[in-house]
Structure 1
């Protein structure tokens, strides 16, 4: 790889990480391109457009930089637990790849807070959909394995439980990351991952309550 290309890739990485930090700390709508360029130590205001592209391309690039290693971890875990008869093993194969990735980033990190904003911002639905294929096969396989151990539920209730599980993982991890960054004390991501796995296994496999008269 020639020096010019290496420098360009290094600059792009600086821009991605600076943007991720600012987005995580201030919110997606509160950060300008100029602020990102300055935080990355670049003098040229057009550096972001040159090295990354549009605002959407920037957010997508940051997202993929985390989703791809998470997908690798998930692929390995889903394959290893495929024949397990324990529902918790299958829930773990979906939860732990994320918390293990967060642990690998050190402290402070900004991934969880950044991703929490991306997946809940209606304006970024196209970005979320664009990275879904990276996780699709592993997540579908892992989810199917979980639901083999769940009593049949009405479609609306099944969807609600899935949504609750997703929100619990996303926002619990974002809050743990925020506290870790604020206090300087690294989050215990192993504890977070195991606690989420236990809680979600109980929630997903819980029997359905039938109110009197129904």
Structure 2
């Protein structure tokens, strides 16, 4: 089965894209959702976090206090690295398990930090949802009610846009309306079906043919 790694910067529209692929019958694995599963009460993941960061990251009911953990790691690169080392192996293994259950020409693995991590080893092809940074900042401010400087800091915590584009086999330009987005996704869907079945090389929707 062909595995497409779907990634993009924060507020680029990854969820809208994955929802549209799902509506076309494509199985989706979203690592953001798996990251929640691996830290449910009683899991090895939650035990690892408590051992590393202490009980202050827990709510009164014993569940993970995501806001407290986010505050703890956001401004501390060493803590962010530790968080990744603790949880990424668990999430990767769960990705493999979920992908192994599918019987379809291709599936999509949604990984926000795909190009920054070794999750790229799980995919055959990288699809980047690309949005100009000015639009990302506007969407973040509107979505999260944050200031422009806070939105800028969120973007700066991820890989630069240029790095994602260099890693892309296919690029989906999400800087227009929903009709344009739907058209690109339908085209990519047909291209991925052809690639999975005949080994042809699809072109991205910004007019380029991605590297194999």
What's the TM-score once normalised by structure 1's chain length?
0.30
Q: Which structure ranks higher in relative contact order (CA pairs < 8 Å, sequence separation ≥ 6)? A: 2
Higher CA-based Rg: 1
The structure with the greater share of residues assigned to strand is: 2
> What is the TM-score with the length of structure 2 in the denominator?
0.30
